[in-house]
Amino acid sequence: MKLEGKVAIITGGSRGIGFAIAKSFSENGANVIITSKNSQQLEDSASQLNNTIPISADIRKEEGVRKVVEKTIEKFGKLDILVNNAGIFPKIKQLHEISEIEWNNVIDVNLSGQFRFTKFAIPYLQKTSGTIINISSDAGLKAYEGFNADAYSASKAALIVLTKCWALEYANDKIRVNCVCPGVIDTDMTKPFLTTQKDREFMDNDHPLGRIGQPEEVAKSVLFLASEDSSWTTGAILAIDGGQSTK
């Protein structure tokens, strides 16, 4: 029960990596708030977990983000952990083919959305000497030939730098800020790229450890960073990618 009595907000918590983190947190004693724009999916996901409350919100809207944090405080009186997990992946296109609307939408969700949640969470995390875990990507660590998701890569790289900025900015408040960078994880987001056995074999073989990752493997690392096991860790950038970013 590494998080017994803790209160956590997990953005994008209704599926994939976010859901796996919520499950891990709830199993370790935390009271968990999961958010996403899809209210029905959010309700369904929360019903599968203990100590988990769904609060629907659009991460692109400041007022919606503010309400999630305020409702959390109304319910529990505090906030200990923020996991900035929500994100979207664009259609694969080269830069000159991307519309400004497409670019701005990815940046708004994957980067500005993390800013919004962090902004409203900080005053409460200051009171608890809480922790923030940002979910970036190995696409933010390096460029991959043929990846062609520039807005996604840019947003994830920026989140890595912001992790270090926030770690220094709030160190005096004893707020720890860390980041995990998953590689290809077996989730709904990656299914379009794994439609055939050949696709799966190629993706598995592209990782030095010989396979893609599972959401639960990311969740274990996030649990470590959220708990007192990492009490002297801040500003860390942890690649969870089967060695892919080392190539």
119-140: pLDDT as tens digits: 999 999 999 999 999 999 999 9
In a domain, 235, yes or no: yes
Element (H, E) at 237: strand 237-240
Range of the domain at 145: 7-246
Query: Does 124 qualify as catalytic in the annotation?
Result: no
pLDDT of residue 191: 87
Residue 19 tokens read as 């859901």
Q: Which residues of the chain have pLDDT under 70?
A: none
In a domain, 179, yes or no: yes
Question: How many domains does the structure of the chain reveal?
Answer: 1
pLDDT of residue 192: 86
In a domain, 182, yes or no: yes
- CATH of residue 203: 3.40.50.720
pLDDT of residue 193: 85
In a domain, 99, yes or no: yes
Can you tell me the distance from the alpha carbon of 199 to that of 65, in angstroms, rounded to the nearest whole number?
37
Catalytic residue among 124, 144, 152, 170: 152
Per-residue burial over 179-192, b = 16 or more CB atoms within 10 Å of its CB, e = otherwise: bbbbbbbbbeebee
pLDDT of residue 66: 98
In a domain, 53, yes or no: yes
